[in-house]
Structure 1
Amino acid sequence: MRSFPFVTVDVFTDRRFGGNPLAVFPDARGLSDGEMQALAAEFNLSETTFVLPPEDPANTARVRIFNRTAEMPFAGHPNVGTGFVLAGRAAGGLLRFEQIAGLVEVRIAPDGQGATISAPQALKVGATLPAALAAACAGIGAEEILTERHPPTLASDGGNHRLMVEVTPAGLAAAAPDLAAFRRAVAEHPAALGGMLSLYLYRREGDGLRARMFAPLSGTPEDPATGSAATPLAGFLLHLSGGQEAALDIVQGVEMGRPSLLRTTARRDPEGIRATVGGGCVPVLRGEALL
């Protein structure tokens, strides 16, 4: 029997049982692709990460990210949490993770209690979709979708595209994913959605935002903290504003009883709009998987 140690951490929080839980296998050598996927399904978290030696020795590690059903090219809280777990490997506070979407740089917080990551790609703004579709998927009335600033719009910066939807406070509070509506949406818009849909709802709250994310087609009815949605949203809002740079705090997970704080930045550079997201991490469990 083979043994593979793991740890779990709560990400984008300063307290246990807040934020988004993550399982990390700090040494995944010897695990097959199928075993990684099976372990991610067994943990039943939004993502699990598996750390392998880098292909380029100039980098820290190759990090593979699996959700309950598939491998992901990039994700936010898995990189923040894995960076926190591997902080002892940081050179000058910096880690470099090889991933399908590209190289992810992770900076460890000065107090060691969290990390900030840079999205591996510049912002990509995709298709717009009908407000009625977004409302149906969120289980709310079309009047709760705000379109003065933008219609529901797909955006990404290395991860899966997210449908960015501004909603009213009442709409955010009442939202609940409608699985049948999600299935209809991907069937009716195959070119734009490619068979998958992640719905990222947000509303203004003071100088920051409140958000919720639904991705039931990938096994996550609701996610308490979604870094790979926060970064394209920060970039998309900068794109709309015409500004050069911005910093924005996003609160997520409140409705799930797992409040999370995601601190984002976005800036324009020669490659386009680039974004970061960071937050705190708290260790929770240690154990081993027996295979």
Structure 2
Amino acid sequence: MRRKKTAMTTRNDKPDWALTKRERAQAERAAKGLPPKKHPLRWLWLIALVALAGGAAWFVQSGRFAQFQADRAAATAEAQAEADLRAKRAATLQLAPFEVTTLAPATLMETLKITGSLAPVRQVHLSSEVSAKVEAVAVRAGDAVAAGDVLVRFDATALDIQLAQATANAEATRVQLEQARSDFDRTKDLADRGLAAQNNLDRARSTLAQLTATLAAQETLVANAQRARDNAVVRAPFDGVVFERAVDPGQFVATGTPLMTVVDLAALEVEATAPVSYAPDLAPGLDVALTVEGFGDRVFEGKV
């Protein structure tokens, strides 16, 4: 039996100038009626792929693949940690303590320094309200006093006599006035019944009015004498400090003679002159910081 060879032709749509060397050789074999030449490397590639697949399957099944993945993950983590450490070291800036400053909000202030005189808001110059001899002075300059404390005491002998005499005169006049009022009432009753003359009633009325006026004047004298007696003792009008003392025991003073000065140091004020250029910026209520000569660096706070 004879086999019939069939010539295989390969159709190629490429022009001759576009054919590769291998395609041109295949075309020549087809023109001669020969089958296409098989490339010997195809079997080698197939064998290599089968071997590679078998090796990969063995590598996975043997557990080495899991170990490989674990080692690779550990190496990756270590590399990442080292990279993070290098980045942290690069980002850290070492500063000395004196190079660090804490920022905080603050109010900017413009300071005006001026010099003035300090004076208490409340002070009193005590003067004598009687003419008498100073019997005792209980305080000295610089002493602290409370309201009502005795500061100066005068000899009140003459004042006591004047008060007693004025009181006695007023009492005598009061008795006379009571008698005159009784006489007037009796005379008026008689006159109303026609038993007393009108001139007797007028005389009784005049006596009553005169004694009433006399008693009023004498009561005024008693009040003045009592006030003078009370003024024989000078007391502190408020809590404060004796700033100045002007009298000593045994000294005779007249009415109006200065005795001492008491000041209240709880509230002080400063009188100072500021430049005209600062006038628009000065207003009541502005804060003021004061330093006083004799108090060192102590700062007192106040307001305009």
TM-score (norm 1): 0.17
Higher strand share: 1
